[in-house]
Chain A
Amino acid sequence: MGMEPNTKKIDGYVERDNVVIDGMDISGHWNRMLEPRWLQDYSTDAMDWVTSLKGAESLSWCYQCAKCVPVCPVEHVGSYGPRKLVRKVQLGNNLMEDPDLWLCTSCAACLRVCPKAVDMIQIMPALREQAVLEGKIPDELADAFSSMEQHGNPLGQPARKRVAWTKGLDVDVPILSKIQKPVDVLWYVSDYTSYHPRGHDAARAMARVLTTLGIDFAILGQEEKCDGDSPRAAGERGLFEMLAEQNIETFEKYEFDKLVVMDPHAYNAFKNHYPKMGGEYNVLHYTQLLVDYIDKMEFKGSVDATVTYHDPCYLGRHNGEYDAPRKLLEAIPGVKLTEMPHYKATGFCCGGGGGGMWLDGLAADHQSERLSERRVREAVGTGADVLSVACPYEPSRFEDAVKSTGNAGSLDVLDIIELIDRAMHPDAEA
């Protein structure tokens, strides 16, 4: 493209303490582009306090370039972005009382583009932890924490109902405490899969597929507790530690080779945070397990549909897995894969992460529509029949959004495992 004709090449332009160009004095410190410019009119107390928190040190590195703003999903439906939070802290705002503290979904879209590696993924939990210690938590989120603490799941359901989905199933689902023998795969089912009706559909599909493929698996059953990743991201460090301790103690009782999850949040917890708590496992998302079994899959039926895939933030951007889910979808007869404008590393968050799953009330007060609604519109825009997902937060969020955006009947929301199951077992009853 070449330089525009009305720019001038300045000879020997070198950063100097004193520079005057065409009468404009742009003098300044020699490396001023690489450091925050201190605003002497404002006290740095607020920023100093934030950066003194372990994990939040990088907040002050921001130089307000705003690359984070257009990629932040919350900005699309409101006024947000790390840059805004940095500005607030620079100006001395107390984030502890600010709803903005809770709108971040920890999707990592910002970190991906930030030239200074301002790490919101560590900053937000550190800041939120301070708010949590002071008891300043939005009520709906506190209710979810309360339920996780008392019942081991955020849905207020008793532990004994965690295996209700196995009733009447056409295949056997071994429970480790009963079979008391080593298995190849410990399948961690997770909260929403265990308790939500749409989660049950995915769980039952998974059980059938694992069985047909001859995979040696078992589940924890009632002993299984919430992985704790979302409370961790939402600042309840103590709750995460408590749940992790309980789960690790349970895992210790059994012998297994792989820890397979359907939930990217559990994947993130087990892979990246449990090792520090003393639990190290060979963790796989179910798509990463099944992708190696594609050749063994016998498809008796087909799924004739155009399918688009929503990359879960915690499987995609956080943990780099974009391909296994797509390979599985492409292997299903009849599936025509189409991509949304935001896909793979630029995937658009559904709003469920970082505690967002239980902050829809707060979000509604600050957003023009929910992130899941924005994403559903994007899916509909591709002309797809099916929005496929690989995270148990999604079916309820997206099905809700399909209805509220007036698209009921035009777009089905299905976990990848449900599509695989339909093609492998077209005659399965439930």
Chain B
Amino acid sequence: MSNDIFVLIEHRDGVVAETSFELIGKAKELAGESGGAAVAVILGDGAATLTGKLGAADRAIVIDGPGVAQFTPTGYTAALKPVLGEHEPLLMLFPNSAVGMDVAAGLSQAADLPLAAYAVDLKLADGQPVVTSQVYGGKINAEMKFTKGRGIVTVIAGSFPADAGQQDGSPEIQSVSTDASDSRVRFKKLIAPEAGDVDITKESVLVSVGRGVEEEDNIELAQELADALGGAVSASRPVVDAGWLPKTRQVGKSGLKVKPKLYLAVGISGAPEHLEGMRDAELIIAVNSDENAPIFSVAHYGVVGDLFDLLPSLTEKIQERVG
């Protein structure tokens, strides 16, 4: 048993995910208190070349083997189980991404370790981890402890600052070879999104639509406003899931992260998964018929009103003002 804080490093196509740095930064802070080490755990092809980015960690465990060359949920679980069994860290942190969710839950069951999910904050109280998780669509937070005093945590992206974990240089490396594998799940390939018409991450003005537009035809109102402002239309997940806009327009956890000068959130309630993708925009103006919509907590300006009247009115006035 140790007081180490382990972090699973997520990487794809030679790039370390920003969440990994957020977690290393936090692990360092907690390890300082617990008297243990912040340990980055990285698996797969190319892992060895990425250790140069993990300088903020105290140690890195680099796991290599045919069964983990590419990410598969069950392959990673099989490889991580003995590592956790051997080291018994105080905490193992995973990002709350697809990878993190899949592996953390599988590992929780396989290694018989409790799992606290959707964490937005972590601290130690008398050496015991205390996890604050955001649940019920962001309406309620839960503060939890592990009955056995140690466990696994999945952390929502953006909960901790990434720069606290960003440092070039390599930590002390421990290489582990494993023949753990699960051939029942086979990685085939990565599919990049179709190079769309529009790259919303490069637009300085986005008019973003959510469920509140009600019908595909109404997106036209947003397009007209976007045209008047010289911007583009983006959307939250329900609009893309409904097939009204392509995936390349999706803002949020499973979409794109955007930082435009102006983000107009129209008919978007502001679920945490969406906020993840746009909260850093310079000016956020939200329009929603529900005064309690969570979007208003991140927006700079808000209007409680009918978007079907507001959008055309706004478009007209902008056109008049611009002349």
Contacts and interface: CB of A to CB of B under 8 A. Distances in A.
In the complex they form, do A and B come into direct contact, defined as C-beta atoms under 8 angstroms apart?
yes
Interface of A: 140, 197, 361
Interface string B215-240: 10100000000000000000000000
A197 B306 contact: yes
A361 B217 CA distance: 9
Closest 4 pairs between A and B when the two form their complex, measured CB to CB: A197-B306, A361-B215, A361-B217, A140-B215
Interface of A is mostly: helix
A116 to B, nearest CB: 40
A197 B306 CA distance: 9
Nearest to B305: A197
B268 to A, nearest CB: 15
Nearest to A196: B306
B200 to A, nearest CB: 27
Contacts of A140: 215
A140 B215 CA distance: 9
Chain B, interface residues (CB within 8 Å), range: under 10
A362 to B, nearest CB: 12
4 contacts: A140-B215, A197-B306, A361-B215, A361-B217
Contacts, number: 4
Contacts of A197: 306
A197 B215 CA distance: 20
A197 B289 CA distance: 10
Contacts of B215: 140, 361
Contacts of A361: 215, 217
A361 B218 CA distance: 11
Nearest to B312: A403
Nearest to A360: B215
Contacts of B217: 361
A145 B306 CA distance: 22
A197 B309 CA distance: 12
Nearest to A195: B289
A399 B215 CA distance: 19
B135 to A, nearest CB: 20
A203 B217 CA distance: 31
A371 B196 CA distance: 40
Nearest to B217: A361
Nearest to B211: A156
A205 to B, nearest CB: 20
A211 to B, nearest CB: 27
Interface in B183-224: 215, 217
A361 B216 CA distance: 11
Interface in B91-133: none
A258 B215 CA distance: 40
B211 to A, nearest CB: 9
A104 B269 CA distance: 36
B188 to A, nearest CB: 34
B216 to A, nearest CB: 9
A108 B256 CA distance: 53
A230 B224 CA distance: 35
A361 B214 CA distance: 12
A197 B304 CA distance: 12
A326 B306 CA distance: 33
Contacts of B306: 197
A220 B217 CA distance: 36
A112 B306 CA distance: 40
Nearest to B216: A361
A361 B215 CA distance: 9
A167 B306 CA distance: 18
Interface string B296-308: 0000000000100
